[in-house]
Amino acid sequence: TGWYSPWRVAIMGTLNDIVESTLVTDVSEPCKLEDTSWIKPGLVSWIYWAYNHGSKDYKIVKKYIDFADDFDVPYVLIDWEWDVMSNGGNLTDALNYCKEKGIDPLLWYNSSTAWAVPTPLYRLNTSEARDKEFKWLKEMGIQGIKVDFFGGDSIATMNYYIDILEDAAKHKILVNFHGAAIPRGWQRTYPNF
């Protein structure tokens, strides 16, 4: 009929059919990673909902590490502003405490789009910057990242997501996208997501 759509798939049926469908994941590219043994999904102790700026307070971060330890939660997410942590310790102190307790840390990152200002900024914008940052993360014992504040759904932004997933996988880094497009199917192709 001459009508074209950018959509690659359409799902029709009842509301339950649509909501419960795995079609988008099923038609996504198969896993691109040869070794997935390092990927360990698990619960995360997370500071933000109770303490919006809590990750810049070492004593509060410590409480969430203790919570993870007490309840056998394998991960703790140290959210935004970890780069300015104070009140008795800094990021290195928090990571040492994680190691002492056997908790795997995850760190928050700003995607560094034009409208978002929470720190840290501009650490993942290029392949070179990501490589440097991901090497540092592994040296520090950090197992994953949460990347936040993506600005829109342009092809450049979609490519940025994929670049982050691919570069993170090279360094065996888990990835969580927040404030992001709904990334249907990417978990099949990049199970570190």
Query: What are residue 104's phi and psi, to 5 degrees?
Result: -90, 125
109-131: b (≥16 Cβ within 10 Å) or e: bbbbbeebeebbbebbbeeeebe
Range name among 2-11, 12-21, 35-44, 75-84 with the lowest pLDDT average: 2-11
The strand pair at 104-110 and 144-148 is best described as: parallel
Token pair of 1, please? Answer: 């009929």
pLDDT at 121: 87
pTM, rounded to two decimals: 0.90
